[in-house]
């Protein structure tokens, strides 16, 4: 049997390697600093570990089918109803629901170039036409370009905010002007995987626009500030009408029991959430300052990572750090061949990174 013809050239998403893969492939025995996948460097919350231990005796049972308890907790967090919330096996699944529920072949979506690779991958899987709008000169979403590119075939716009991999954001006035001219029949997906790390008061969250009645679906994840990447838990926030439609394509029990229990536990652990965010904000400031002092271009970020232009040293630095047990994310696939993306780590990891880059420069220049 032949696959769908439009899948023949599809390239799967390139995930970062796990610690076990890194150790096995490179034979490293010392400490490893995994700064390539934007994971939470604190490890899981102790309250989550305790909740998971208690839940182990229940794993022979299906979870609550409606997930009402967790949906209500998330609704309370955002001042909304549980009817505004849908859960997913990671926020990626929420993105896929849009393709399943709303988009047919020959329909059109608009994305930035570059942006989170899964928008394009889902488009290719479902045979949807993809229109790409280059980022502006400041590496921010070019919303005017989005508006100018809308046709009668356009059904949805995908905007990662903060943007991946640059970490850039848009100010409130830019968003408001965009929505003023946006046709009402077009759904805007605001992907806030890194929204918890926004500290600029001029940068809005998507919830503002939902409460104003704009046609938005906000996707969020428990993988970053909440520290649950391995349990794959995400959610979408939208009007009850949109959520009801998305639920029609959601498989029953799409989120496992342990993820639900962990989600409820971490929502209660305000101290862990605050500590995670403070760690990132402090580390982001430190790395920006130190890397800039070393002469590298660090792009402003509101996420838990930084995009850094290492110019002619990019590949050399990447490979040097690899052998020191420090893993960063190359951005060639995103169109930035001289840039690396650096996840903000612990204070120890951040200092080790700067120290090793200094060692490299001293060796290379001398």
Tell me the pLDDT band of 26, cut-offs 50, 70 and 90. Answer: low
Summarize pLDDT for 225-251 with one digit per residue, the tens: 999 999 999 999 999 999 999 999 999
**Residue 137: per-residue pLDDT:** 80
- Tell me which residue of 260, 220, 215, 239 sits closest to 66, measured CA to CA: 260
- Domains of the chain plus CATH, in order, are 5-44+271-365 (3.90.1150.10), 56-268 (3.40.640.10)
- Rg of the Cα atoms in the chain: 21
Summarize pLDDT for 33-76 with one digit per residue, the tens: 999 999 999 999 999 999 999 999 999 999 988 999 999 999 99
Bridge partners of residue 329, in order along the sequence: 341
**Residue 342: per-residue pLDDT:** 98
For residues 216 and 261, is the Cβ–Cβ distance under 8 A? no
For residues 73 and 267, is the Cβ–Cβ distance under 8 A? yes
pTM: 0.93
Bridge partners of residue 237, in order along the sequence: 85, 218
């Amino acid at each position: 049997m032949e696959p769908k013809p439009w899948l023949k050239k599809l390239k799967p998403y390139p995930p970062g390697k796990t610690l076990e893969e890194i150790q096995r492939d490179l034979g490293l025995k010392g400490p490893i600093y995994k700064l390539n996948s934007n994971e939470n460097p604190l490890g899981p919350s102790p309250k989550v570990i305790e909740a998971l231990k208690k839940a182990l005796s229940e794993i022979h049972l299906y979870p609550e089918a409606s997930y009402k308890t967790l949906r209500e907790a998330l609704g309370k967090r955002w001042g909304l109803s549980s009817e505004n919330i849908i859960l997913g096996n990671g926020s990626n699944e929420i993105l896929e629901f849009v393709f399943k529920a709303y988009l047919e072949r020959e329909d059109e979506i608009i994305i930035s170039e570059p942006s989170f690779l899964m928008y394009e991958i889902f488009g290719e899987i479902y045979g949807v036409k993809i229109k790409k709008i280059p980022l502006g000169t400041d590496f921010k979403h070019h919303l005017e370009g989005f508006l100018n590119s809308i046709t009668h075939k356009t059904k949805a716009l995908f905007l990662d905010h903060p943007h991946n991999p640059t970490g850039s954001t848009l100010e409130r006035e830019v968003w408001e002007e965009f929505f003023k001219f946006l046709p009402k029949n077009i759904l805007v997906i605001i992907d806030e995987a890194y929204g918890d790390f926004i500290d600029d008061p001029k940068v809005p969250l998507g919830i503002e626009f939902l409460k104003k009645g704009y046609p938005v679906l906000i996707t969020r994840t428990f993988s970053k500030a909440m520290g649950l990447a391995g349990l794959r838990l995400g959610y979408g926030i939208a009007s009850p009408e949109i959520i009801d439609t998305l639920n029609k394509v959601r498989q029953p029990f799409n989120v496992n029991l342990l993820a639900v229990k962990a989600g409820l536990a971490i929502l209660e652990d305000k101290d862990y959430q605050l500590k995670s965010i403070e760690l990132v904000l402090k580390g982001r400031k430190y790395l920006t300052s130190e890397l800039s002092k070393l002469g590298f271009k660090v792009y402003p970020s509101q996420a838990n990572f930084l995009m850094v232009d290492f110019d002619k040293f990019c590949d050399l630095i990447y490979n040097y750090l690899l052998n020191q047990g420090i893993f960063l994310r190359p951005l060639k696939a995103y169109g930035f061949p001289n840039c690396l993306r650096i996840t903000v780590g612990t204070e120890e990891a951040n200092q080790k990174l700067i120290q090793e880059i200094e060692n490299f420069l001293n060796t290379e220049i001398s």
